[in-house]
Structure 1
Amino acid sequence: MIIGLLIILLLVLFLPFTVKKVEHNLEYFLFIMGILAALVSGVFNMELLMHALQDPIKITLAVLIAGLLFKWFQTQLGNAIDAVSHKMPFPLFVALVVIVLGFISSIITAIIAALVLVLIVSNLRLARRDELLLIIIACYSIGMGAALTPIGEPLSTITVSKLGEDFFYLVELVGAYIIPSVIILGIFAAFVVKRRKGTGEKVEQEEESYQEIIIRSVKIYLFVFGLTMLGAGFEPLINAYLLDLDPKILYWINMISAVLDNATLAAAEISPAMSTATIEAILLGLIISGGMLIPGNIPNIIAAGKLNITSKEWAKIGVPFGLVFMTIVFIILLFTGL
């Protein structure tokens, strides 16, 4: 059994990073891998199946409803953004964009928050470096804020489900780190992002079709279903190899979240048998390092795809920024008793 689970784990960790077809169909891939992991570990039963069928419902509905609202009001939102950005000091506008999107992503989901971010940046027509700075800092903020509720992003959905906790569990667990971080990110963006006009044309964002919105919602459902199965299937591995690891080590190990979706890693690592300090370290390591590179988090993928940001462009800013960010949070964790 352990050998079979290790093979599945290696496939889950490396195929999305090395095989383009798997990367572009990650939801279907993890759906299949999750079922296989549950079968191999012998935990597949009716109770788990019902659990996996129910877990994705809330986040799927949130993505669907928010997606429809964004489609219906995209033009009005774009006009409002353009008006507001010219009626207040630009640094204040930038700070509010980063902070508000960070916090509201926990309700409208990280996916919709990223689409709103793209709409905002497209209307601003900034110089390329300022555009990149705003996108990357805001995606860090969105990735952190979305982790505060189980409807914000798959990572938080899976974590709350695996631990059997309530809606506000993550706010209580990591809110003291995430809430100040989102505010600080907004203040930092206000100082580094300048309104130097770019030379290119305004990037017009095509309106999504109803079909695209529905397909995205179905993919989220399959994604979370697969991760629920994956998490249950990997319990024997977690109990054998991760429970006794020092939380400090787990925090830095999770830098691999920079190249792998952090929800997948959360499903593979987190267990109810872990201490609160260990879960806290795992989550913060995953959430922060997920912003370093494009594949690490959903908002990164959406923003980079819509605005044609290359992996090299993202890495030049995202990696050093993430390393500094992780180091600061690690020092704080040490002083608070990690």
Structure 2
Amino acid sequence: MTGLFIILILVLFLPFTVKKVEHNLEVFLFIMGILAAWVGGVFNSDLLLKSLEDPINITLAVLIAGLLFKWFQSPLEKGIQLASDKTPFPLFVALIVVVLGLLSSVITAIIAALVLVLIVSVLKLDRQSEIRLVVLACFSIGLGAALTPIGEPLSTITTSKLNEHFFYLMDLIGPYVIVGIIGLGILTALWIKPVQAKNSLAGDKQTETYGEILIRSVKIYLFVMGLTLLGAGFEPLINRFLIGLNPFILYWVNMLSAILDNATLASAEISPEMTAGTIKAILLGLLISGGMLIPGNIPNIISAGKLNITSKEWARYGLPIGLVVMAIYFVVLLIF
């Protein structure tokens, strides 16, 4: 147990405190996953085979979607400009948030974030309006991508650990997620005004190379493989300390997802021994709080990096939005 606790502490805090680890997170988690499985006494041929198989679908989805985005980036940019010109602005920005949120479970959270960056670069609003739009859209993408195992690593790992079917998460949290995405779209329509200005975000619209697309796909493969090994290695800790814990306590504890990648936390927390209600509370806590700060999930990191959004700027809107949404969902979970 002592060895697993040490690994858990390293996994939770090194990416947040050491820049080299943060910039090479996939390789770091891959190494930590091997160590956790070995220290936990679960490393065997079956687990190795499972860890090699789990990342395949999401890696292929990221690779194919990345290629399609590269090939169709120019017509997509023209289509965005045309749609923004023809559609009332409040409806247009609401559709951005809702459509990207819903599509992220199919096109992956990574590609949804790249499309968001392209849209923001085309719109050229004032900086604060663009930051609000990006934050709201990333909350939506983070929620929606969890509905299928190909959407993001968190959903891949959760479905694999629970040994469930493709649409399990859609059945478990689908209504909560879809209503939340629509609510974020309505908030976007009411909050963001069409003010154009010179100090807009500096979007990176340079077309990605095939090498960059391939490297990103390999990193996702290692990331998910590492999380599979981590989850298996941490099973003794989960069974001893988390199985019987009140799901509503876990819900609020998972606000750690604001500063730590939510897929990492999911791999460390979720177990097939848990009830559906506990898993639901864990997932919703992770998904919502993951949008509060930049490190919380993949779309935040991609969007903030390409649009030069600082951590302080993100937190100014992400924290209050996340806290309000967390409180609303907590009440809903208590009732239903």
Q: Give me the TM-score of the superposition, normalised by structure 1.
A: 0.98
Q: Is 1:251 matched up with 2:280?
A: no
- The question of 1:284 aligning with 2:275 is answered no
Residue of structure 1 equivalent to 2:316: 316
Matching residue's letter, 1:320: P
- Matched ranges for 1:262-273 at <5 A: 262-273=262-273
| Structure 2 unaligned spans of 5+ | none
Match of 1:195 in 2: 194
Could you tell me how far apart the structure 2 residues matched to 1:172 and 1:88 are?
A: 33
CA positional deviation for 1:203: 3.8
Q: CA deviation at 1:70?
A: 0.3
The 3-state SS of whatever aligns with 1:42 is coil
Q: What's 1:24 paired with?
A: 23
Mapping 1:122-133, distance limit 5 Å: 122-133=121-132
* Alignment partner of 1:214 is 2:218: no
Q: Which residue of 2 aligns with 1:155?
A: 154
Q: What is the identity, as a one-letter code, of the residue corresponding to 1:134? A: L
CA contact (8 A) 2:204 2:307 kept: no
Partner Cα separation in structure 1 for residue 144 and residue 193 of structure 2: 24
Aligned to 1:174: 173
Which residue number in structure 2 is paired with residue 231 of structure 1? 231
Cα deviation, 1:13-67, whole Å, max 9, x if unaligned, reads: 0100000000000000000000000000110000000000000000000000000
Q: Structure 2: how far apart are the matches of 1:204 and 1:289? A: 27
Structure 2 CA distance for aligned equivalents of residues 249 and 184 of structure 1: 25
Q: Deviations over 1:252-298 (max 9, x none)?
A: 00000000000000000000001111100000000000000000000
What corresponds to 1:325 in structure 2? 325
Partner of 2:78: 79
Q: Distance in 2 between matches of 1:250 and 1:203?
A: 37
Once residues 142 and 199 of structure 1 are traced to their aligned partners in structure 2, the CA distance between those partners, rounded to angstroms, is 27
| More displaced stretch, 132-141 vs 197-206 | 197-206
Structure 1 match to 2:42: 43
Distance 2:99 2:83 in 1: 14
Which segments of 5 or more consecutive residues in structure 1 lack a partner in the other structure?
none
Q: Which moved more, 1:111-120 or 1:174-183?
A: 174-183
Aligned-residue CA RMSD in angstroms? 0.8
CA shift digits 1:285-332 (9 cap, x unpaired): 000000000000000000000000000000010001100000000000
**Residue deviations 1:54-110, cap 9 Å, x none?**
000000000000000000000110010001101010111111110000000000000
> Taking structure 2 as the reference length, what is the TM-score of the superposition?
0.99
Q: Could you tell me how far apart the structure 1 residues matched to 2:204 and 2:299 are?
A: 19
1:204, CA displacement in angstroms? 5.1
Asked whether 1:100 is paired with 2:99, we answer yes
**SS across alignment from 1:43:** coil
Q: Give the partner amino acid of 1:308.
A: N
Deviation at 1:199, TM superposition (A): 1.2
Name segments (4+ residues, structure 1) moved above 2 Å. 200-204
Judge conservation of contact 2:148–2:156 (CA < 8 Å) in 1: yes
* Amino acid in the other structure paired with 1:291: G
String of CA shifts for 1:126-171, please: whole Å, max 9, x gaps. 1111101100000000000000000000000000000000010001
Does structure 1 retain, via aligned residues, the 8 Å contact 2:203–2:306? Answer: no
Within 2, Cα distance between the matches of 1:137 and 1:203?
Answer: 17
| CA 4–129 in structure 1, closer or farther in 2 if over 3 Å, else same | same
CA contact (8 A) 2:149 2:156 kept: yes
Secondary structure of 2:72 counterpart: helix
CA shift, 1:200, in A, is 3.6
